Each structure stands twice: as structure tokens, then as C-alpha cells.
């Protein structure tokens, strides 16, 4: 199986890249609020480390999501069964 052809970039990839850092920052704010509300220690992890890491993870995963979205869109345009057609387009079946 070839992994690189499964990676592409598009609008879904861009949305995923934006989502991961926002999800991290949102989760961090929830942790800070919870620590304030309960009187416990706030989170001490370094944002400067985890924010780029979340962007990199989002970038890697987003390309795979985009490939499936593109294949599914093509199958939908031709009125095919989306699940089976997507795997056929991506050459994931034998």
C-alpha cells in the first residue's frame, strides 16, 4: 500500500489544521477555569511546545482526511455507494 498518494491538501485539511490548535487552547482554558473553580493548581505545560505540536499533528492527519473527502466527493458526484467507491478510488481494496 502506498501511503503518500493518500495525502492531499485542500479545504478540509485547512480546517483540520486550524481545529487542532484551537481544540488544544480551548481544552487548556477549560483546565484553567476548572483549576480556578476548585482552587487547585492550574496546568503547567508549556504552550510554546504543545501548540506547534498540535499544528504538526493536525497537518499530518489532515492530509489523510482530505484524501478521503476528495474521493468521497467524486463518488457522490457519480451517484456511487460512497463507502465502497471511496476505498476503490483510493486503491485500498484488493
Query: pLDDT tens digits, residue range 43-86?
Result: 888 889 999 998 888 888 888 888 888 888 888 888 888 778 87
Structure confidence at residue 12 (pLDDT):
82
The domain locations on the chain are 4-89
In percent, the amount of the chain with pLDDT more than 90 equals: 28
Structure confidence at residue 1 (pLDDT):
47
The answer to whether 27 touches 83, Cβ cutoff 8 Å, is no
Pairwise CA distance, residues 52 & 91, whole Å:
32
Question: Higher model confidence: residue 37 or residue 1?
Answer: 37
Question: Higher model confidence: residue 4 or residue 28?
Answer: 28
The answer to whether 21 touches 54, Cβ cutoff 8 Å, is yes
Q: What is the pTM of this model?
A: 0.68
| Site of grid cell 455507494 | 81
The answer to whether 6 touches 71, Cβ cutoff 8 Å, is no
Amino acid at each position: 500500500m502506498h501511503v503518500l498518494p493518500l495525502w492531499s491538501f485542500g479545504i478540509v485539511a485547512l480546517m483540520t489544521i486550524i481545529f487542532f490548535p484551537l481544540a488544544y487552547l480551548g481544552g487548556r482554558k477549560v483546565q484553567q477555569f476548572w483549576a480556578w473553580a476548585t482552587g487547585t493548581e492550574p496546568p503547567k505545560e508549556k504552550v510554546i511546545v504543545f501548540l506547534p505540536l498540535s499544528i504538526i499533528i493536525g497537518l499530518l492527519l489532515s492530509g489523510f482526511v482530505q484524501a478521503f473527502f476528495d474521493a468521497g466527493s467524486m463518488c457522490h458526484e457519480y451517484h456511487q455507494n460512497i463507502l465502497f467507491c471511496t476505498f476503490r478510488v483510493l486503491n485500498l481494496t484488493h
